Amino acid sequence: MASETQLQEELKLAMKARDMDKVYVLRSMIAAIKNMKVEKRVDSLPEGEIAALVRKEVSKRTEAAEFARKADRADLAAQNEKEKAILDAYLPQLMTAEALERAVRDISSELGTTQIGPIMAKLREKYSGQYDGKLASELIRKLG
């Protein structure tokens, strides 16, 4: 998982190596982190929130690549795929479906409910940035 300091160091290395794709991606990530810190009025963000920001940036790149392919813009699609690959290196390993299901069941029995809201809140608290939210909500619906 990436911290803001690690991203700053990686940016310096990328600038020295003149890896402009990586420089661009890291600058946008650092800017997103700074914006989130200003928004929340905090000095630093926990790694879980940074991971969530990275995931958000990855999904933006994935969506942009899809639109570029639909518009027959292979160059833009390739650029977005390259940026997505750079961002993927800063993501924590996602929980497997089995581990996520086990976590959902444990939290459900701990809370004594099968409602999506409370279970998702507890999941975010315990495993922030380590699971697929869409899969988690599907598993919770199956419980209910």
Predicted pLDDT of residue 131: 82
Give residue 137's domain range. Answer: 97-143
52 lies in the same domain as 26: yes
Phi, psi of 93 (to 5 degrees): -65, 130
Angle formed by the axes of helices 133-143 and 116-127, nearest 10°: 140
Angstrom distance (rounded) from CA 108 to CA 123 = 10
Q: What CATH number corresponds to the domain at position 63?
A: 1.10.1510.10
135 lies in the same domain as 77: no
Predicted pLDDT of residue 93: 80
91 touches 54 (CB < 8 A): yes
Domains: count for the chain: 2
Token reading at 68: 């570029």
Predicted pLDDT of residue 38: 94
Predicted pLDDT of residue 112: 84
Predicted pLDDT of residue 1: 57
Angstrom distance (rounded) from CA 131 to CA 17 = 33
- Indicate yes or no: pTM above 0.85: no
Q: Which residues of the chain have pLDDT under 50?
A: none
